[in-house]
Amino acid sequence: MQLKRPRAPLQLGLMAASCALLSHTARADGSDDGEQPLVLDTALLYYKENAGRVLTIEPVVSLKKDFGDLRVLDGTLVIDTLSGATPNGAIPSRAPQTFASPSSTSLTPKPGYKTTLYTIAPGDLPQDPHFKERRVGTDLDWSQPVGLDNSVSFGGHFSTEHDFDSAAAHAGLSHDFNDKNTTVSASVSEEYDRIHAHGGNPLAGSDYSVYEKESSQTKSVSGGLIGLTQVMRRNWLTELNYTLDRSQGYLTDPYRILSVLDALGNLTGYRYENRPDTRTRQSLYWVNKLALGPTVLDLSYRRGIDSWGIHSDTVDAHLRVDLGRGMYLEPHARWYRQGAADFYDLYLSAAGAAPAFMSADPRLAGFDASTLGLKFAVSWGRSGELNVRYEQYQQRPSAQSSSLPALAGLDLNPNLKANIVQLGWHMEF
């Protein structure tokens, strides 16, 4: 029989000491074992449209902390200041047109009522020059692994501006398998919004001259996503996501109207727009990351359809070209196309009954759009990067003119052009 040798005191002491020592020790540089840096990402965006339209200045600050073992807390703050003119949905006319700014409580000056009017010159696109808005939004997200092959995440979002408040929450999980070559993920989100337009929400589809307003409205959006990520090759990663979301409630834009025209195209009045109170959207998004030496290509395609009849296609490409010494250049190209919503039209016809739903909002029109941009970045080690990017965005609507005599020669939905400049700073502390 073999007796177990009793442990010598030195050995016991050594074992205890080694266990204690190995579980936690401060590093030579003073930091704790496993202490991850605090990551700061901040940017300033400048967005300016042509023809006196929207100007946006948007600072963003994001802080991220890994509490060890990929348990990450991520917080973001965005401040969005918008000004400039925004189209009100009416089309240009041969005669001057006068409108009341949405914050007005009356179309015509009356005691006890606020009236801010603006007049549009003949041939010009009607847009409200008094548009000014400031939005503050915050996001907080938490993600952590669960076991060796899964991870879970959840978070919340809140934003507020003078006429719109939004609160949302989301939760998701993902599972790795196939030697971590394949990941499946699923997430759900819920959003609740309150719309209280300047001057009150107009009665949808009502006659503009009546100027009837009502109190605030709400809307909610429920969404789900399922995704699959697959490692294809050593240098190629691909992801496919399917998204489904359903909005219900007040989906109309409270500031948009439509011109009502007779058979010859003469203006007979205006109507507030009216959209359905439900909208179901689906999208299929496919993205690829491909490394060709130090260069990385990010190429994606998205197909979208919805219950309003809008179909869209998006192709987006970024090419990161490494310049050495921590610098890189990243050209960007995006091409987008959408079909018009079923109830979209440039204007309404005075003849016949008004349709159930109608909108002349350029965002629901058929158009194609393109973006061309370039980003330049300088980084030092792994801990810091400064970057600047310039982009140009153009939208070309498909329906821009009418054969009606009174509208001959008028550009009813002009092209949109925007210049975008962004400065960014990434820092790890």
Partner 1 sequence: MCILKPTRLAGAAVALLAIAGCSSLGVKPWQHEILARPEMALNASPIDAALDDHIYFSKEAASGGRSFGGGGCGCN
Partner 2 sequence: MWGSRRASDTPPARRARAALRVPLLFGALLFGLMPGAPGAAPREEALDLGALKGRVVYLDFWASWCAPCRESFPWMNRLQQQLGPQGLVVVAVNVDRERRDADRFIEAQEPRFRIVFDPEGLLAEKFSVRGMPTSFLIDRDGHVQLRHEGFRLADREGLAREVGRLVLGKPANGGSS
Site for partner 1 in 195-224 (CB under 8 A): none
Cβ-based nearer residue to partner 1, 211 or 357? 357
Q: How far is the CB of 209 from partner 1 (least distance, A)?
A: 29
Six token digits for residue 138 = 């915050």
Q: Which amino acid is at 293?
A: G
Cβ-based nearer residue to partner 1, 219 or 320? 320
In this chain, which of 188, 287, 406, 427 binds partner 1, going by CB under 8 A? 287
Q: How far is the CB of 276 from partner 1 (least distance, A)?
A: 14
Q: Choosing among partner 1, partner 2, none, which partner's interface includes residue 241 (Cβ < 5 to 8 Å by kind)?
A: partner 1
Site for partner 2 in 158-197 (CB under 8 A): 179-180
In this chain, which of 198, 271, 275, 375 binds partner 1, going by CB under 8 A? 375
For the range 5-8, what are the long-range contacts, defined as Cβ-Cβ under 8 Å and sequence gap of 24 or more? none
In this chain, which of 283, 349, 400, 415 binds partner 1, going by CB under 8 A? 283
Q: How far is the CB of 296 from partner 2 (least distance, A)?
A: 15
Q: How far is the CB of 233 from partner 1 (least distance, A)?
A: 7
In this chain, which of 3, 264, 353, 356 binds partner 2, going by CB under 8 A? 3
Closest among 282, 246, 252 to 363, alpha carbons compared: 252
Q: Does 231 bind partner 1 (CB under 8 A)?
A: yes
Cβ-based nearer residue to partner 2, 148 or 353? 148
Site for partner 1 in 131-190 (CB under 8 A): 145, 148, 151, 172, 174, 176, 178-185, 187
Give the C-alpha separation, 90 to 281, whole Å. 27
Q: Does 325 bind partner 2 (CB under 8 A)?
A: no
Q: How far is the CB of 386 from partner 2 (least distance, A)?
A: 24
Q: Does 127 bind partner 1 (CB under 8 A)?
A: no
Q: How far is the CB of 334 from partner 1 (least distance, A)?
A: 8
Residues touching partner 1: how many (CB under 8 A)? 85
Cβ-based nearer residue to partner 1, 224 or 269? 224
Q: How far is the CB of 185 from partner 1 (least distance, A)?
A: 4
Rg of the chain over Cα atoms, rounded to whole angstroms, equals: 28
Q: Which residues contact 79 (CB under 8 A, 6 or more apart)?
A: 58, 59, 134, 135, 136
In this chain, which of 51, 55, 57, 60 binds partner 1, going by CB under 8 A? 60
Give the C-alpha separation, 236 to 229, whole Å. 11
Site for partner 2 in 45-104 (CB under 8 A): 68-69
Cβ-based nearer residue to partner 2, 2 or 215? 2
Q: Choosing among partner 2, partner 1, none, which partner's interface includes residue 10 (Cβ < 5 to 8 Å by kind)?
A: partner 2
In this chain, which of 148, 264, 353, 356 binds partner 2, going by CB under 8 A? 148
What is the contact surface with partner 2 in residues (CB under 8 A)?
2-5, 7, 10-12, 14-15, 17-19, 21-25, 27, 33-34, 68-69, 148, 179-180
